[in-house]
Structure 1
């Protein structure tokens, strides 16, 4: 029978599982990375893994959320009013975020490694719902800043977050969109989304 872990040990092991998961998922891909290999690198028994995560999919999802937070933080403090053209600044941020997504191996693996279907089947609805709510909440500071400057945003944060997710997912389907027109299509969608969501009061 394995001994229990105190809170400090639990945190250390959780962090180690996340770190080793990130390394192995990036190097080998989701499908080829085994729980055994992750736990071996951490120095715990394979069965102990399930004291911390319900599945390999859940660990991968947690790592993806952390990658997403890094992307959000990267642009959270950008002064969108610096040049008195907030729409232009937001479009620039979206383009940079898309570039980050296009080059992030963990996010690319999720879509191109056929991991999405497996992950969604094994994640609890509560976990996904929490993720979507966090996405919506992350837009609240930006919405408040714009409203305080006299801009009108009628759609609720959940819809705005859904639109953003839809845009990012499209970046992973270049072939279906058409490689020749992909870049122009994304540029036009960014213009339509930002200009459609953010309106100047009185216009």
Structure 2
């Protein structure tokens, strides 16, 4: 995290001021999520933008066959409970800010042709974005769902279609980074 913080702070433009606060946590661990909220509240007192990007990809397997229930539960805990818990915990700070932006990052797992429970987790992320807009839109919250493209990461390389090049194009990480900066630079409603 220190290298990321240094890189972000180095990108700050002259005349602008922002604070980078880092917290390492398991998004499915409610105590760690609450500790991160307390850290942000103490250091800044507000939160303008929340990006839910935690993810877990367990071993591929079919419900009626070779899937591992513990792996499936861990995927649900991180990908579903994690996005919910982090958003719920940080929502009071977001509601006190001006920007009030939430970005939920999806996954290429939802596009995999392999029948798998994880594809449904991606669909939950999109539905969660819709729920947030319905519940909090009148309070000024803007929630986005972003599919990051096919970015080669250790996790992505576990998806069979990525391993064999079935998706064709591998997107550079910069593409998503620039898209996210554009998306949160000002409210895109």
- The answer to which structure has the higher helix fraction is 1
Fold match, TM over 0.5? no
- The answer to which structure has the higher strand fraction is 2
| TM-score interval for Structure 1 and Structure 2 normalised by the shorter chain | 0.3 to 0.5
TM-score (norm 2): 0.39
